[in-house]
Amino acid sequence: MSSTTGTDSHADPVAVDTLGDVDPTGHSRKSTVAGTASRALGSKVGIGIVVALAVLWTIPTFGVFVSSFRPENEVKTTGWWTFFTNPEITLDNYRAVLSSAPGNDNLWKFFQNSIIITIPSVALSIGLAMLAAYAFSWIEFKGRDWMFVGTVALLMVPLQMSLVPILQLFSGGAHIGSVTIFPDLNLTGTYLGVWIAHTIFGMPFCVFILTNFVRALPRDIIEAAKIDGAGHVTIFFRLIIPLSVPAIASLTIFQFMWIWNDYLIALIFAGQDKAPITRQLATLTGTRGQSWHLLTAAGMVAMVVPIAVFFALQRYFVRGLLAGAVKG
């Protein structure tokens, strides 16, 4: 004889819905929303919208690219789209901006300066941020959480507020009356000064992104390495860095784009001989006035390296953005 008392082993779907995790059909609401979004983007309408947005976003860059190969008179008198009905191609614009001959802009020199500034700045900021991320995630010390909060809180400090104090430290030191509390570093107008400035300003963002990723790594792997006798140095170089490649690659794209396209820090801390390509572009804009044919060629030269970096690391980009966002 079966018992009529007791609890039914099958929960009422409607009752479960009151918890907010399962819909009346028994499916997870999160998976339902994700599935709906995925189906919407995968439909013909969704694909059409995405393609249309991509085309609209690309049109200005394509117009600059076409104009960079057009003669000066054509650029100044007609729109770039007339190239398709009256195609005229010349390399004079690129010769003018890249040549070191007197009267030309010698953009190649400033292109090299941008590479010399950007690569070490990215390496320093990400390298130091990785060390900080490991410490905040897997090393127990007093005040760790407060230090992390303080570091992330620096994201709210406007960059412009820090320019003058840092410039004073780089060029004149720090003094209280006649007492010198910080010597003159003499870093203004040097590559080292620009590297340090970019590293300082980029550190809060880098630490925030990498710490969230490193904290999401499986604890079992770290604990197993400690049981086997691995120290912090071994764990960092043999486990943390290889497992963090997607996040490092994604952050490298962000940092590279930001530092390469920076103008303000270069204007304040870099001298004319160490100026990056962005500063020279601004000078060219101010001195040339209506020389748009040269501006388009110079703009394309400035875009080559960031585009190459993005396409080289794009396979890690989405993985790095999503890593740590979902824990299962």
Q: What is the CATH number of the domain that holds 220?
A: 1.10.3720.10
Q: How many other CB atoms are there within 10 angstroms of residue 125's CB atom?
A: 25
Contact 298, 107 (CB under 8 A): yes
User: In degrees rounded to 5, what are phi and psi of residue 183?
Assistant: -75, 165
C-alpha 264: how far from chain center: 17
| Distance (Å) of CA 48 to CA 5, 56, 273 | 58, 12, 48
Quick one: pLDDT at residue 34?
53
Does residue 170 share a domain with residue 25?
A: no
Does residue 298 share a domain with residue 170?
A: yes
Q: pTM higher than 0.85, yes or no?
A: no
Q: Is residue 74 part of a domain?
A: no
Q: Is residue 86 part of a domain?
A: no
Q: Using N-to-C axis directions, what is the helix angle for 191-215 and 144-153, rounded to 10°? A: 130
Does residue 227 share a domain with residue 141?
A: yes
Q: Bridge partners of 179?
A: 176
Does residue 155 share a domain with residue 24?
A: no
Does residue 176 share a domain with residue 35?
A: no
Q: Is residue 54 part of a domain?
A: no
The domain boundary, picked from 5, 22, 42, lies at 42
Nearest to 205 by CA among 125, 316, 322: 125
What is the distance between the alpha carbons of residues 82 and 71, in angstroms, rounded to a whole number? 12
Tokens read off for 85? 């009905």
Secondary structure of the chain in HEC code, one letter for each residue: CCCCCCCCCCCCHHHHHCCCCECCCCCEHHHHHHHHHHHHHHCHHHHHHHHHHHHHHHHHHHHHHHHCCCCHHHHHHCCHHHHHCCCCCCCHHHHHHHCCCCCCCCHHHHHHHHHHHHHHHHHHHHHHHHHHHHHHHHCCCCCHHHHHHHHHHHHHCCHHHHHHHHHHHHHCCEEECCEEEECCCCCCCCHHHHHHHHHHHHHHHHHHHHHHHHHCCCHHHHHHHHHCCCCHHHHHHHHHHHHCHHHHHHHHHHHHHHHHCCCHHHHHHCCCCCCCHHHHHHHHHHHHCCCHHHHHHHHHHHHHHHHHHHHHHHHHHHHHHHCCCCCC
Total tally of structural domains belonging to the chain = 2
Q: Is residue 60 part of a domain?
A: no
Q: Is residue 300 part of a domain?
A: yes
Query: In the chain, what is the straight-line distance between the N-terminal and C-terminal CA atoms, in Å?
Result: 43
Quick one: pLDDT at residue 20?
45
Which residues span the domain enclosing 21? Answer: 13-42
Quick one: pLDDT at residue 282?
79
Does residue 252 share a domain with residue 130?
A: yes
Quick one: pLDDT at residue 250?
87
Does residue 121 share a domain with residue 267?
A: yes
What is the distance between the alpha carbons of residues 147 and 143, in angstroms, rounded to a whole number? 6
Does residue 122 share a domain with residue 237?
A: yes
Low pLDDT (below 70) residues in the chain: 1-42, 101-105, 173-175, 177, 179-180, 182, 184, 285-290, 317-328
Amino acid (1-letter code) at residue 68: S
Does residue 128 share a domain with residue 31?
A: no
Q: Is residue 67 part of a domain?
A: no
What is the distance between the alpha carbons of residues 299 and 302, in angstroms, rounded to a whole number? 5
Does residue 122 share a domain with residue 269?
A: yes
Q: Is residue 165 part of a domain?
A: yes
Does residue 272 share a domain with residue 177?
A: yes
Does residue 170 share a domain with residue 28?
A: no
Q: Is residue 243 part of a domain?
A: yes
User: In degrees rounded to 5, what are phi and psi of residue 298?
Assistant: -65, -40
What is the distance between the alpha carbons of residues 235 and 122, in angstroms, rounded to a whole number? 23
